Amino acid sequence: MALTGTDGRSQKQRSRIGRFAFGDIETGITAKASGTQATAYQLTKSLNVIAVCATNNDSVALPTDRQVGDEIVVINDGAATAQVYGAGTDTIDGVATATGVVLTNAKRCSYYCVSITAGVAAWLSNMGAKSS
């Protein structure tokens, strides 16, 4: 399917908004054993499919190259729950990134970068509780 036409946005805006349409997808990801932020598989795409998550807390990390408004989708097709971390000291749903959040197997979740302050990103997920 080819996408055609213009919508009035700059090329940079279209490339960031239309990343899914232009193949910014990684499949076949193996979540890293150990469940730590330091060893987590580094995600770099907008849509990420974990194919292998062999034991609970095998881990992946949200991109280090992030901007406010980014949406990262992670699909866990593995056999166990995955642990999702942010980069550095980023937070996910108000949880310190060194702790990470769980993504149950056979589930998917979108993570939204809602702010970056002093280099620290705040991510919200569509499955997390609203933080105060």
Confidence tier at 107 by pLDDT (50, 70, 90): very high
Tokens of 64: 């280090």
Is residue 14 pLDDT above 50, yes or no?
no
* Sequence-ordered list of residues with C-beta below 8 angstroms from that of 35, at least 6 positions apart, any chain: 56, 57, 58, 59, 83, 100
According to the model, what pLDDT value does residue 127 have? 79
Task: Indicate whether 7 pLDDT > 50.
Answer: no
Predicted local confidence at residue 23, as pLDDT: 54
Instruction: Give the domain ranges of the chain.
Output: 11-125
- Nearest to residue 74, comparing CAs of 91, 83, 12? 83
- State the CATH architecture for 11-125: Sandwich (2.60)
Reply yes or no on whether the pLDDT at 61 is more than 60. Answer: yes
Residue bearing the bigger pLDDT, 2 or 62: 62
Task: Quote the pLDDT of residue 19.
Answer: 41
pLDDT exceeds 80 at position 22: no
